[in-house]
Chain A
Amino acid sequence: MSTQVQLEIFEGPLDLLLHLIKKNEVSITDIPIATITKQYLATLELMQGLNLDVAGEYLIMAATLMYIKSRMLLPPEEGDEEDEEEGDPREELVRRLLEYQRFKEAAGDLEKREILSRDVFVRPSAAQAEVGTVTFEGLSIFDLISALQRVLELLPEEEFHAVTLEKISVRDKMNLLLDHLYRKGQVVFQSLFEGATSRLEVVVTFLALLELVKIRAVRAWQEERLGPILIEASAPLEEVSERIKNEEVEGEGNGA
């Protein structure tokens, strides 16, 4: 049997096993464990060779397979222990494979449905047209925070270097953000953090954004449920500057 394996994107060890079972045209309920184990390990090696991250789950499954293989090699015990756990050592694995396969099919069925905003569309909500009233349309603070998390994840690793403290207060950042928004109109949340080099800078920008939302100088919303978070200024500039002046800005003075 050739150990050359086609590299596909596997969703995990069970998925890889199902793939090998299908490729070998064998039955899930009667897996030739030696052959499949060999190919399974070869695939892992290939994945590692390609610098793909082989997650721990794959290795646990490799151990399981080898354990089953060794148990299959043992001569079946005679008579006395018949009714004790002397089933097919593959049984539990087979059960898991069958169960996973069912959900794989179910997932395929879901994908074939008429999916909203892919196959079928509804009218976009009219809420976008209204200005200044509601600020967090359909967005919770958690939505914003998880969006922030993604921004932070994208930051390059912070390297150690001499630090020059850039003193940017939240209030300064608010004004910078507003300038940006008046120039650009509507922007995507993530774009506000472009060019940010440190977590601190990202955090200050985020706090400034929250302040702006709080004083209703900007609105944050999503056009579609799964869409990007959009930000735009929601009041005339003079009015907003006035509000900023009068607002107690939290974190004022803590330069970043």
Chain B
Amino acid sequence: MIVREVKVTNQAGVHTRPASLIVRTAAKFKADFWIQKDGYEINGKSIIGVMTLAAEQGTMLTLLFEGADEAEAAEAMEQLFADGFGEVK
């Protein structure tokens, strides 16, 4: 199990498009993936779940990865958050 803390850096927050990016990225890996926000945990491979996080700019999220390729999955996901999903920061 790998645990990572990330920050939502893009201006608009995790809206529909970033949510779909997160889910599509997670789907590339076998590892299970969860996201926690203030004690609320969702399956990171469910777009509706990710959307219900309603994570605004500046929100801190905890990412949990578990599975054979968890290291690669964690790296890809951290990169995605660091890039602000390719949106305006």
- Do A and B associate with each other? no
